[in-house]
Each structure stands twice: as structure tokens, then as C-alpha cells.
Amino acid sequence: TSATFRSIYEKGSSTPSPYDGTDSFPRRHLGPTPKNVEEMLKDLKESDLDSFIAKVVPDNVLIRRSLKVQPLKGFTESEMLADLARIAEKNDLVKPLIGKGFYGTIIPPVILRNLLENPGWYTSYTPYQPEVSQGRLESLLNFQTVISDLTGLPVANASLLDESSAAAEAMILSFTSLKSKKPKYFVDSNIHEQTLAVLKSRAHTLNIEVVVADLTTDEGFATLQENKDQLCGAMVQYPATDGSIKTFKAYSRIAELVHSVKGLYAVASDLMALTLLHAPSKFGADIVFGSSQRFGVPLGYGGPHAAFFSVVESLQRKIPGRIVGVSKDRLGNNALRLALQTREQHIKRERATSNICTAQALLANIAANYVVYHGIEGLRNISKRIHGFTTLLANSINESSNYRVLNEKWFDTLSVDVGSADEFIAKALSKNFNVFKVNSSTIQLSLDETVTKDELTTLISLFTGLSEVQLPETLPSFYEEWTRQDDILTNEVLRTHRSETSMLRYLYNLQKKDISLADSMISLGSCTMKLNATVEMMPISWPKFANIHPFAPKDQVKGYTELIVELEKDLADITGFHSTTLQPNSGAQGEYTGLSVIAKYFESKGEAHRNIVLIPVSAHGTNPASAAMAGLKVVPIKCLKDGSLDLQDLETKASKHAKNLAAMMVTYPSTYGLFEPGIIDAINIIHNHGGQVYLDGANMNAQVGLTSPGDLGADVCHLNLHKTFAIPHGGGGPGVGPICVKEHLTPFLPSHPIISTTNQTEQSINPVVAAPFGSASILPISYAYIKMMGGSNLQYSSIIAILNANYMVAKLKNHYEILFTGGDDKYCGHEFIIDLRPFKKFGIEAIDVAKRLQDYGFHAPTMSFPIPGTLMVEPTESEYKEELDRFIDSMISIREEIRKVENGETDGAILHNSPHNLKDIISTSDAEWSQRGYTREEAAYPLPFLKEQKTWPTVSRVDDTYGDMNLLCTCPSVEEVAASQ
């Protein structure tokens, strides 16, 4: 393999030909050069990559089935761009007036280029290390502020995965707030169909009964009254899916009723409409949610888009998702951070009530900056124009056509009885408009920011048949009784940046505060922060990927369909499975989906009672949380001292629960970074007891081309395309969490009510998100990654990732205890755990090392997951030897700093005071500095390379509680969920 590997470099493919293009990708994606690889192997005392890998991956696991991914050699970068351009050309740019939660929008070019297309923004991680994340924390705080202002509710989170899953979170919050004892959840029938479908999916697994009724009518309201004893909450959409706005009373009396039984009232809304309309808080909403997509985020065939979610104050500790809060740093200065305190309360509840981990940070940041740039005046210019255009169109239809607008009031959407919907749709398409078919006689259409005067007159002609359209001088104004009067979006930052120069500098100033992959290695264990290559990223802003509505007819999206089907096939090949769904928007959502599919499978076999899921204690917090969301009962499985699964415990629990055994969920390589030796035995045990095996594919980056979940014998896995398959982390999202399944599970993969999914059948589970193919617009990233690496070279990502990790272990193991790699030939997988607990007795904690690493210009590795008091390091294959060495040198240097504490030479202040930001260096008095026992230079430049390149923390250490320290993301641990059940 070393020779094959070398050939990647020499000719750009594993089958070298001097005729190949010279811009081959694998040698650019992989950090170490062949020479580096030789050096590293030598350090490991290994002769070649083959024999090295054979020692890492257990014999019965290592398969190295050649992947079928075409082209085997991989496309060159220019071939890839040409091929993606060919695919994009197969999508038609039809003006998307379909609406239904997805609207045309203009992303201001300054935001497009300097945020969405800027690796300084898109490659950063979730802001768990606040000292090097103040930029995006500020931007997310802006997002929260905007949401809170527009919805009128005081507490907003920093995004959820999409509007429909946010609806599910609202429903579940209502259900669990009443201790899951009131099973009925009322949903107004005038809500987006896809939202209702997702509600049904999520309600099903939790045994919530969704009741659909016309809540804004007297009849519907009467049903609500009749059921009030069983009611945990109600949901309306405002403006409704048909575009209508009802009477204030129609909305407010629902609130009164729901509140009278302590239920929660949730309102799905639209941010653009809310710039004009009364805030839902005004008529008593407890929860307001929706999509922030139309604030500058491209349609992208359905996503990713940031959902928003705001609540009344009493729910502030129950709100799902991440929340940014204002806090103080060590020097007493304001500092932002993820306010995990709230979530802690949340975790301590009897059950996990949400499994949200990765969310939509990058998209929330686009939306927030759209508002920063427009301000309230700018937004109202836009929303008034949208409403004015819509009203002119409605008036023309009502006054000058044979048709009739069905909704009495509107913001941007008109439902129109056109006699024959199909005929009208064809006529509209001939003018390049897509409208939505409601039923055989009704269409609806939504206007947006992008509609021009010419398009308006064309639309008027289309409905009225008039060839000359007269438009009035001024636009009709908004309904007076519905016009909100409160002062909103008055924060300084929302009033300042009106010129492009000012906006540009604001974006740069934020970006400069944060560590991203453009600065230095981010070696977060379990997170796989690899290269997000430029070629992979370029296509997502092409109009023919960006400006496509998710409900566009299939014959207009042949490009997307080709890409999706091919990617599903490639992922199935890589995972050794039969089929794939790309719908889930995150790993955790993939987990939920996979477990739901398993549950549905058992249901179809008449084994609906199977509700036990075995999960090792080492599992990531989303595993038990997702199980809870899927209505399953978690039984924990122990791990042995050496980090491996306790197979005996597994056998015991599996046989004890055999009758009700639904599944085992297990991560491979394990969350300890180990190639579990007993994985195949474990899988057999589960199968022998009638269970299904769910493999958490977060660590897939160690498997590709070496083994696979399917080859191991599992039944289903999820993948984090934002880990293994090169989608950037975006500062906390987006993500894509596809699941791949064996053939017997294929019929149960999620469907969609409007656009059928690839494997949709009668037996399919309901969708988990609003868009049929989830976050479609970022799929070209993974597609390009896979296609440029090629079937023959993909394995090198895993091989080099494993080599990099073990090289680091070899260099660090004389300085630190590396867990589970005892013995000379015991290797870790693609990540490893540094044990810092031994230093606790000297007063040095994991957090001190993590923070001190910032002084060395590095983002901390994963802290205290999966084991408290440790750091887990995952270098990935994209890091090059020089950077690994800088990190190694930094860790060794820190070890020497600790040694001085051990030796009693110092009190460790340099560690405890870390990180040292510039304010500390510059503004702290000489007097205080002279007391510290170390110099400014030792604080700031502990190694020489830092004088040449260093990204500075912008605040000093933010005061975190130990509780926060123990969390990887916002998800409860296995034991906590198990204990609470």
C-alpha cells in the first residue's frame, strides 16, 4: 500500500498514468506527503502502511473490499467542477412561487462572499471554547435577539434543524411539560403539510395523539374545548399555509383555552411577515418557531436552513437547542458563551426531551447578518413591497379575472380557485413560474423579495389575460389592524452597518476573533475536523443548486436527482448496505430516524412490543436521547477497563431483554477511539436475541475502505457527512446525517408528503424534516469529496487518519498517559484519549490544559468526552506533519509546565490563568504581572513558532461550571437517560 499511496502523489491516482490531469485531489486532501509517511512509519517502527493497518484493525474486521465508487481514480479538481456544472445544468431555474416555508431571497453579496464562501466562517467548530469563538457567538446572539424581537418572546435559541422538526420540538416540549400525561396535541389544519407529517412521525414514537382541526373556526375551536382535559397543547400557523391571516380573537381564544389547562400554545410563523404583523406573543403564544431561510439563505432544494424557536420566560430552561448567553471572563469583562446551565436543568429532567446536537449555526449567522445589513427599515422596505405586490395581484385577480382569491387577508400568499389547477400550472410554467397545486381546482403562490415589477405584471396578465397592466403609483399598504406598533430591532449593532464597507468590516472583525481550520488544527475527537476543500464548496453557491425550491416538480430537478441517487448509492457501497436516505439533517436526527425505521420494521412484523435498546455507557449522549425520542427504553451496557465492550454484560442484558429487545446502538470504532475487538461477537449476540444492530457512524472516518457497518453485520447506521464526508462544521452546523440500511429495512425509510423520496413505499415512516432530501444544497460537498478521492483512494483518508493519530500517540506517550493503548503494538484508531486525571492532585484539570492550548494557538481537543478529565484528539488525515508536530510540541511544553507544578517549582498560575488574551497582557498592571511568577512572554509565546503565527483568544477564561465541563454537546448521557426512565 505504501507504493500505491505514493502513486497518489506522483500521478494523482492509484493507477498512475502520465495522461491524467495534474490537478488530482487526494494528494491535496491528505496532509502528509509520501516522505512524511515514511518518516512517521519509521517512528512507529512499521515497514509499510499495509502491515501497520493490519495491526490496527482486527483481522476479522479488516476487509478492504474494494469500493465501487466511480471513477476509481477520482475526478481531478477541474473534471469535478465540469461534472458538477453538467449536473447543475440539468436543474431548471424556474421562478419559485411555491412558498410553503421556502421563499426566494437575495443573499447580500457581501455576506455571500465573506461569510458563506469564507473558510474563516464555515470551517469553525461549535463555539464550545468561547475564548476563541466570540465572533460567531456574537453573531448567534444577534440571531437570538432578532428572533426574540420579531416573535415578541424573551428567550430564543441559536437555531434548530428546520421548521418542521422545530414544530416537533414544540409539540414534545408541550407534551413533556405536562409530564407526558396529556396525550392530545391539537394542530390547526391550516399548517404546512410537511410540518404535519413530521409532527405525526415524532408523535407516533412518543405515543402523542395529534388531532388536526380547523382551530380558528368555531367548529374547530369547539373540538378543542371538548378535548381540553387531555390536551397538552395546540399549534397554529400564522400566517397560515394557505396564506390567510384570521381574526385576532381566533388566535387569542386558543391561547386562553390552552392556558386554562396549563398547556402550551405554539405558533408557526414567518419572520418576514413578522416585520409588519403583530408578534404572536400578543395573542398569547408560548412558543413561536419557523424558518429563517428567507432572511438571505438560498433555497438550495430544501436546506440547510436555520429554524428559529423562541419561548416565554417560564420555558427558558426547557427550550431545546443551543443558547448563547452573556457572561464574564476571568478579568471581569463581558464574554459570550453557550449557556449550558439551562441545558443542565434540562438534562436533569426525568427524560431527555430533545436530542438536538448539531444545529444550523452557519445559516443562522447568514440570517442574523441579513438583518444586521438591512435593519428594520430595510426589512420593512422588503416586506411592504412583498405585501404590496401580493395585494395588487390579489386585487387584479378578484377584479379582472374569472378566478377568485380564497383567502381574505394575506401577507405574501394567495390561494386561488383557478378551475383547473393543472392547466393553470402549465400556463404559469410557460412563463417560467412554479406555483403550488393545492387540489384539482386550487393553486397557491407566494411572492418574495426577488419578484420584479415585470414579473408582477406578467403574473397579473397570467391571471387576468390583460395584455396591458396598469400599476398604481404607490403600493397598497398593510392592514392597519394587523400592523405591529412596537419598536423592534433597535439594538446598536442592528442600526449601524448599512454600507457594504461597514458590513464587510463587521464580518471580518467577527471572523478574526475565532479559530477556524484556516488558522490551525482543530483536533476535536469524535468531530473529524478535516479539510473542507474549495472545489467541494464552490458549487453550493451556483444558482442552479442554490435557487431551486424543494417542491419543484421532479422533471425540473434532474440534476439534483442524479446527484442524490448517485450519492445514496456511493454511501451504501461505502457502508456495505443496501440503501440510503439523505433526509436527516444531523447525526442525532439520523439516529432518531434509524431507530424509528427499526421500530416500524418490528411493527410490520407484529413485534411492536420490542422497545429495549442496549447502549454502551461510553456512547455519545445523542444515542440515548434519540432512543428516548423514538420511544425506546435504554439499557446501558458496561465497558471493560481496556475500553472495550463488556460482552458478558451484553449477553446478560440481551438475553434478559430478549423478548422486548429492539436494538443495540454502538459506535465503531468506539467512542474511545478503539477498533472494538468484540464488535462482531456483539452483533451476533444481538441478532441471536432478535434485535437489530444500529451502528453510530460518527467514527466512520476510520472505516472507509477498510471495513464497513454492513460488512460487520449491522443493520443500519447513520453517517455524519459533516465529519467523514467533508461538509464543514459551519461553527455548529449545518450537518447531514443520512442513514444506510440493509435491504429488509429499506421499505421503511422516510417518505415525504409532497415530493416522493427515493425509497418511498406504503410502509415508509413519516418524514423527519420538511424537505424531502433534507439539506440538499450541501450534498454536492460530500459528492465531490467522494468522487474526487475515487473508489481506490478513499481508503487512504482512513489509513492516514489512523497513521496521524498513532504518530501523535507515539510522540506523546512518553509524556502523557494515553488511554487504552497500553503495550507496544497496541494502536489507537483515528483518535486517542489523553488522560489528565493524574494531574488533578496537583490542582491541574483538563480544562487548564485545554485553555492553555489556546495560548499555543490551538483549539482544544474534545474535553471530558467520553471520559471526564481527559482530552480526546482526532487529527484527521488532512493535517500535515508540520502541524502535528507543532501540536505535539505544544502538548509537551504544557507537560513541562505541569511538571513544574508537580515539582513544586510553581503553583501552576500560568495554566490556571490561561488563556491569556491581549487585554490581560497589555492592560493588566505591571504590579500584578510581577506577582504571577511568569512573564508575559512565557504566557504568550511559550514556543518560538508563536511569534510568527498565532490566533489570539479575545477574552480570558470564561467561568464555566464543572457541569458544563462534562458535556460534549447538549445531550444527556446514557446513564442519565437510563436512570430517569
Ligand X SMILES: Cc1ncc(COP(=O)(O)O)c(C=O)c1O
Instruction: Name the site residues for ligand X (rule: CB under 6 A).
Output: 357-358, 526-527, 586-588, 620, 622, 667, 671, 696, 698, 720, 735, 737
- Alpha-carbon distance 938 to 940, whole Å? 6
Given a contact cutoff of 8 angstroms between Cβ atoms, the answer to whether 137 and 302 are in contact is no
Which listed option, ligand X, ligand BCT, a copy of itself, none, makes contact with residue 587 (CB within 5 to 8 Å by class)?
ligand X
DSSP 35: H
Closer of 570 and 696 to ligand X (Cβ): 696
Closer of 149 and 696 to ligand X (Cβ): 696
**From candidates 96, 108, 263, 738, binder to a copy of itself by CB under 8 A:** 108
Beta bridge partners of 579: 741
Q: Report the SS3 class of residue 803.
A: helix
Cell numbers for 319: 427550550
Shortest reach from residue 524's CB to ligand X, in Å: 9
Which listed option, a copy of itself, ligand BCT, ligand X, none, makes contact with residue 43 (CB within 5 to 8 Å by class)?
none
Cell numbers for 942: 511559550
Q: Is 6 in the site for a copy of itself (CB under 8 A)?
A: no
Q: Is 594 in the site for a copy of itself (CB under 8 A)?
A: no
Stretch that binds a copy of itself, among 312-320, 506-514, 670-678, 756-764 (CB under 8 A): 506-514
As a whole number of Å, the CA-based R_g of the chain is 28
**From candidates 77, 270, 711, 831, binder to a copy of itself by CB under 8 A:** 77
- In the region spanning residues 355 to 394, those forming contacts with a copy of itself, defined by CB under 8 A, are 378, 381-382, 384-385, 388
Shortest reach from residue 603's CB to a copy of itself, in Å: 47
Phi and psi angles of residue 391, each rounded to the nearest 5 degrees, phi first: -65, -40
Question: In the chain, what is the greatest distance between 2 CA atoms, to the nearest angstrom?
Answer: 91
Percent of residues in the chain assigned helix, strand, coil, to nearest 5: 45, 10, 45
The residues near 747 (Cβ < 8 Å, ≥ 6 apart) are 604, 759, 761, 763, 764
Closer of 777 and 973 to a copy of itself (Cβ): 777
Residues found in the chain: 981
Shortest reach from residue 782's CB to ligand X, in Å: 13
- Alpha-carbon distance 208 to 168, whole Å? 11
- Alpha-carbon distance 437 to 292, whole Å? 24
Stretch that binds a copy of itself, among 24-32, 40-48, 283-291, 623-631 (CB under 8 A): 24-32
Query: Closest by alpha carbon to 877, among 68, 28, 4?
Result: 28
> What angle (nearest 5°) sits at the alpha carbon of residue 892, between those of residues 888 and 893?
115
- Alpha-carbon distance 42 to 36, whole Å? 10
Q: Is 78 in the site for a copy of itself (CB under 8 A)?
A: yes
790 torsion bin: left (phi>0), alpha (psi -120 to 50), beta (else) = left
Given a contact cutoff of 8 angstroms between Cβ atoms, the answer to whether 817 and 851 are in contact is no
Closer of 533 and 769 to a copy of itself (Cβ): 533
Query: Closest by alpha carbon to 554, among 415, 304, 752, 745?
Result: 752
- Alpha-carbon distance 519 to 532, whole Å? 14
Which listed option, ligand X, a copy of itself, ligand BCT, none, makes contact with residue 496 (CB within 5 to 8 Å by class)?
a copy of itself
- Site residues for ligand BCT per CB under 6 A: 126, 357-358, 526-527, 968-969
Closer of 157 and 446 to ligand X (Cβ): 157
Q: Is 20 in the site for a copy of itself (CB under 8 A)?
A: yes
> What angle (nearest 5°) sits at the alpha carbon of residue 124, between those of residues 726 and 844?
115
Strand (E) or helix (H) holding 975: helix 974-980
Residue nearest to ligand X (CB): 587
Q: Is 299 in the site for a copy of itself (CB under 8 A)?
A: no
Q: Is 930 in the site for a copy of itself (CB under 8 A)?
A: yes
Q: Is 47 in the site for a copy of itself (CB under 8 A)?
A: no
- Alpha-carbon distance 679 to 685, whole Å? 10
Closer of 559 and 616 to ligand X (Cβ): 616
Shortest reach from residue 858's CB to a copy of itself, in Å: 13
Shortest reach from residue 928's CB to a copy of itself, in Å: 12
**From candidates 7, 14, 31, 405, binder to a copy of itself by CB under 8 A:** 31
Which listed option, ligand X, a copy of itself, ligand BCT, none, makes contact with residue 126 (CB within 5 to 8 Å by class)?
ligand BCT
- Alpha-carbon distance 548 to 557, whole Å? 8
- Alpha-carbon distance 767 to 749, whole Å? 9
Closer of 133 and 720 to ligand X (Cβ): 720
Which listed option, ligand BCT, a copy of itself, ligand X, none, makes contact with residue 737 (CB within 5 to 8 Å by class)?
ligand X
Shortest reach from residue 619's CB to ligand X, in Å: 7
Shortest reach from residue 529's CB to ligand BCT, in Å: 10
Stretch that binds a copy of itself, among 28-36, 209-217, 225-233, 670-678 (CB under 8 A): 28-36
- Alpha-carbon distance 359 to 735, whole Å? 7
Q: Is 474 in the site for a copy of itself (CB under 8 A)?
A: yes
